[in-house]
Amino acid sequence: MTETATLPADDSRAKRNVLILVMAQAFLGSQMPLIFTIGGLAGQSLASNVCFATLPISLIVLGSMLSATPLSAIMQKYGRRTGFVVGTVGGALGGAVGAYGLYLSSFPIFLFGSLLTGVYMSAQGFFRFAAADTASEAFRPKAISYVMAGGLLSAIIGPQLVKVTSDSMVVPFLGAYIAVIAINVIGSLLFLFIDIPKPPVPSADAPKGRTRWELITSPRIAVSVICAMVAYALMNLVMTSTPLAVVGCGFEQNDAADVVTAHVLAMFVPSFFTGHLIAKFGVEKILATGILILGLAGAVALQGVELENFFIALILLGLGWNFGFIGATTMLAGAHTVEERGRMQGMNDVIVFGGVTVASLASGGLMNCSGGDAVTGWTSVNLAMAPFLMLAGGALIWLMFRPKEEMA
């Protein structure tokens, strides 16, 4: 079980690691839909200005962005297990500080807990990469798909935990954050059984690849980063406001949890066939389809605020995110070399999650401060999608009309 052992000839180790990562994605990952369901509602109850209701969600994303590079460096030096345990420590601390903030009715303390939760969110983002570490080339796509499948279970578990825990104590939502602590403490034990070797230390004369500026100014890379940022940011913009909108339009908190469940399922279910569609039709067409579906999600949301509108819009939002984000990630993966991978992926995460942070900040302001009621706020949130969809669509059209030799 040592992390420095040599790789086996078959995939027995990889299958064992995948099983552990699927369990981690399902159990540990359930804290993210749980927190995203109640974070804005809890923030709304604590903030002196309702415009800052979604600030807790923004701080989670910001924490994820800030911790991605340090976590990657920890994993590079000490192995995946150490990095994942650090992530669960951040998640447990985030839950504890968040619970303390709720107990004291302190919005600043609650926000600090959200920032710490971002450490776990960042670590979870490495699960799919870890699944591929010990897998053969033939098993690698299946390994990643299986780990993504764990997200389906977390999408069900998390919102159901909201129903059980959010009103279980006198202080609203306190029980949910105590549950988050337990999830991280128990879930961290899974990583005792993971068996992934440390990456080799590169030699001094190994190829260095392009600089960050050369990478980001490459047409194909630039467009993939823009599309990934737009897909993820718009998904977050709308999803963050959804519980506020559902409750604000007269429905129950449990209805909001069900809508979030449907949305997260739509984010992950297509992962089983998105890769096949990309192989058959090309990454540009799937990416364009994702952008169109995101636009359709906004259009459905603007048609009314009945519960079915929320369900259909959020399902389309999840599907559009899947096509858009996986398409952009696939495009990016084919546009840089192995030696450029760490540099490019780190830069990509900073840009993408920087955009997501801004979107989640804007979400609360648009939802609560752009009109006099929830319907007006929800309309503003969905109208805000339009210019960013045009940016991504325009960038993709620009790339597709460039000569092939200039697209790299």
Instruction: Examine the fold and report which residue of 200, 228, 246 is the final residue of a domain before the chain moves on.
Output: 200
Higher pLDDT, 210 or 222: 222
Looking at the structure, tell me whether residues 230 and 337 fall in a common domain.
Answer: yes
Q: How far apart are CA 395 and CA 223, in angstroms?
A: 6
Q: How far apart are CA 353 and CA 346, in angstroms?
A: 11
- Residue-wise pLDDT tens digits, 161-214: 888 888 888 898 999 999 999 999 999 999 999 998 877 776 777 777 788 888
Instruction: Examine the fold and report which residue of 146, 167, 200 is the final residue of a domain before the chain moves on.
Output: 200
DSSP 8-state assignment for residue 302: T
Q: How far apart are CA 327 and CA 336, in angstroms?
A: 15
Looking at the structure, tell me whether residues 17 and 135 fall in a common domain.
Answer: yes
Q: Which two tokens stand for residue 114?
A: 């959200």
pLDDT of residue 2: 45
Looking at the structure, tell me whether residues 256 and 108 fall in a common domain.
Answer: no
Give the CATH number for residue 55: 1.20.1250.20
pLDDT of residue 394: 96
Domain count, the chain: 2
Q: How far apart are CA 247 and CA 172, in angstroms?
A: 15
Are 177 and 112 spatial neighbours (Cβ–Cβ below 8 Å)? no
Confidence at 8, pLDDT banded by 50, 70, 90:
very low
Helix, strand, coil tally for the chain in percent (to 5):
80, 0, 20
pLDDT of residue 338: 64
Looking at the structure, tell me whether residues 70 and 152 fall in a common domain.
Answer: yes
Looking at the structure, tell me whether residues 244 and 158 fall in a common domain.
Answer: no
- Residue-wise pLDDT tens digits, 22-72: 999 999 999 998 998 888 888 888 988 877 887 898 899 899 889 888 888
Looking at the structure, tell me whether residues 250 and 322 fall in a common domain.
Answer: yes
Give one DSSP letter per residue of 26-80, joined into a string: HHGGGHHHHHHHHHHHHHHHH-SSGGGTTHHHHHHHHHHHHHHHHHHHHHHHH-H
- Within 70-208, strands assigned E span none
- Residue-wise pLDDT tens digits, 235-269: 989 988 898 899 999 998 889 888 988 998 898 88
Residue ranges making up the domain that contains 355? 210-403
Looking at the structure, tell me whether residues 314 and 218 fall in a common domain.
Answer: yes
Looking at the structure, tell me whether residues 324 and 221 fall in a common domain.
Answer: yes
Looking at the structure, tell me whether residues 183 and 303 fall in a common domain.
Answer: no
Distance of alpha carbon 288 from the chain centroid: 20
Mean per-residue pLDDT of the chain: 87
- Phi, psi values for residue 302, rounded to 5°: -80, -10
pLDDT of residue 278: 82
Confidence at 288, pLDDT banded by 50, 70, 90:
very high
Residue type, 179: A
Q: How far apart are CA 385 and CA 393, in angstroms?
A: 12
Are 321 and 292 spatial neighbours (Cβ–Cβ below 8 Å)? no
Residue 6 in this model has a pLDDT that exceeds 50: no
Are 115 and 94 spatial neighbours (Cβ–Cβ below 8 Å)? yes
Confidence at 1, pLDDT banded by 50, 70, 90:
very low
pLDDT of residue 405: 52
Looking at the structure, tell me whether residues 274 and 398 fall in a common domain.
Answer: yes
DSSP 8-state assignment for residue 395: H
Q: Which two tokens stand for residue 204?
A: 């001094």
- Phi, psi values for residue 9, rounded to 5°: -75, -30
Residue 2 lies in a domain: no
- From 238, 308, 247, select the one nearest 267 (Cα to Cα): 238
Start-end of H helices in 191-270: 212-216, 219-248, 253-268
User: Per mean pLDDT, which range of 74-78, 107-111, 274-278, 379-383 is the poorest?
Assistant: 274-278
Residue 5 lies in a domain: no
Looking at the structure, tell me whether residues 108 and 183 fall in a common domain.
Answer: yes
Higher pLDDT, 316 or 36: 316
Residue 169 lies in a domain: yes
> 177: part of which helix (H) or strand (E)?
helix 174-187
- Residue-wise pLDDT tens digits, 340-366: 766 777 788 788 888 888 888 888 788
Neighbours of 255 (CB within 10 A): 17
User: What is the radius of gyration, based on Cα positions, of the chain?
Assistant: 21
Residue 251 lies in a domain: yes
Q: Which two tokens stand for residue 9?
A: 């000839």
Sign of CA dihedral 87, 22, 224, 237: negative
